[in-house]
């Protein structure tokens, strides 16, 4: 297929895996930038072909035939792939369209939407990391019962360790002993809306 990420991956494993709307917005913006860059690169294929043709016919290539051979190989490769370029471009445009829809969902839920993106991306990191570490604690304690030393070291380095993360680990340990495997930390509030968007996209 011609996609980088399916809509399912974007909704559940990229945006949906984030714990805050601001971080989901950051991840979606980065994904959109990558896809737009790929789309622009595809649109520039015609100009690159023209450049290769001119270089192939230049006096320099007559003096260095091995360079001409390399150019011929690139042109041949481009010719073989020309039929898939439209499909790649169309799928890239569909991905960008879905990403834009996801951004529209998380945007109103953002805590830092009133500040520039570069500031918002930094401002959300403390909360996002706190919730991520709490989520990791759940996974470790609900599966193996032990938090590895290197992950525990990361948790202890977080400024919310003493007041929030450590007490939370105690709750999870109590739940594990009681065989209560519900997710205390829960999913991000925007995940349900992203699920609805997936259902609408199928129609």
pLDDT score of 180 more than 90: no
| Mean pLDDT, rounded, of the chain | 83
Per-domain residue ranges of the chain: 7-121
pLDDT at residue 38 tops 60: yes
**pTM of structure:** 0.80
Q: How distant, in Å, are the alpha carbons of 43, 105, 179 from that of 164? A: 50, 29, 23
Cα-based torsion angle of the residue sequence 110, 112, 113, 119 in order, rounded to the nearest 10 degrees: -130
Report which of residues 124 and 195 the model is more confident about: 124
Position 159 scores a pLDDT of: 97
Check residue 58 and give left, alpha or beta (phi > 0: left; psi -120 to 50: alpha). Answer: beta
Query: What pLDDT does residue 138 have?
Result: 87
């Amino acid at each position: 297929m011609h996609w980088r990420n399916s809509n399912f991956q974007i909704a559940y494993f990229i945006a949906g895996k984030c714990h805050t709307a601001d971080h989901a917005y950051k991840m979606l913006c980065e994904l959109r930038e990558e896809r737009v860059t790929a789309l622009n690169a595809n649109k520039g294929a015609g100009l690159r072909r023209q450049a290769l043709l001119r270089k192939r016919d230049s006096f320099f290539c007559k003096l260095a035939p091995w360079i001409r051979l390399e150019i011929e190989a690139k042109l041949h490769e481009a010719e073989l792939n020309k039929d898939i370029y439209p499909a790649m471009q169309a799928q890239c445009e569909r991905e960008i369209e879905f990403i834009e829809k996801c951004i529209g969902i998380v945007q109103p839920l953002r805590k830092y939407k009133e500040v520039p993106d570069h500031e918002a991306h930094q401002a959300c990191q403390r909360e996002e990391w706190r919730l991520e570490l709490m989520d990791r604690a759940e996974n470790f304690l609900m599966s193996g019962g032990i938090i590895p030393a290197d992950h525990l070291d990361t948790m202890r380095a977080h400024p919310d360790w003493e007041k929030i993360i450590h007490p939370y680990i105690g709750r999870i340990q109590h739940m594990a002993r009681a065989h209560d495997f519900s997710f205390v930390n829960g999913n991000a509030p925007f995940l349900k809306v992203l699920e609805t968007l997936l259902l609408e996209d199928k129609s």
